[in-house]
Structure 1
């Protein structure tokens, strides 16, 4: 069922209307026709591509809280959502393997497209029930140091996400990320992100640090 917005002259709608589908994004109308069902059997290449796309989509959903911040689009971006931005990156650089055995290349996984303000010389160490993060200050500008919050992130090889949500600042130079109950031998891939306190809706930089075997 379609919903009409505004006055009848504008005819803005969302949903199905005949053989069309309408969506409204940022006050703009987008219309596309419904796809026609094909009577042809999909090729092996098409099946593999669909499976790869589904694998990437499921992974993004499993780390959605971080994607929403890391890929929050800036004004003027050609992408309309964090999901679209992350999918473009994953499909190009991160999903590896051949159908049906796909995997994530965690070293190439970028949890934010912003690269200009990444932390440098960050290290990790396994603790008893946590992962210890340390980093060094690369900018002696006190204003720059004090305005950035640090988020420590862990993702298991089974795509379980956990991350810090405390007020750890860049000037602290260390922090601990609590680890939930995960089975022994699990690989935890670790990342560290900076958030400018003036723009808390988007990471200003995020880096892959390394892996800890739990």
Structure 2
């Protein structure tokens, strides 16, 4: 397996992920845990955001203090499951612009089908963070990156909860410049394109459509 991947092995992330994996975890708790893990992963994926300085007044004296530089980042949700990660990301990046890419997977071909695309302007100037709980076959993620690059994005990072080795390889071959931050790289895909051991269909578990 190759790829530009960071696995966040923080104990809190791993503990919360274990709770999410359990089949008896209800949707309400699953959503809460996903938001909490996303918040923690967002810290990692924004670690090297550029800073500049601003002149401020503290309670005691003036100073030159660090502030984020450049246009606000863009958080792009890959529908529908990516919406379960938006709240966590926006808690860390409340100033972010938000976009949506609608893709569904053809269950016979496992290929992505586009049905919606709405993103912020000036993507070429923004850090673009795609969010989707699963990087499975990688086909949908590659298609989403294709569309974002066509819209002008130049600095794209992908935040996911779980990744499969096959998906990481697919993403790296298509877009080696995209950094992936995840909580786990699981063992493999099954013959239906689901991650093993995984946690099931993230969208169904988020929205209670099992």
TM-score by length of 1: 0.28
Which protein is richer in helix relative to its size?
A: 2
Question: Rg: which structure is higher?
Answer: 1
Specify which structure has the bigger relative contact order, considering alpha-carbon pairs within 8 angstroms and separated by 6 or more residues. 2
Which protein is richer in strand relative to its size?
A: 1
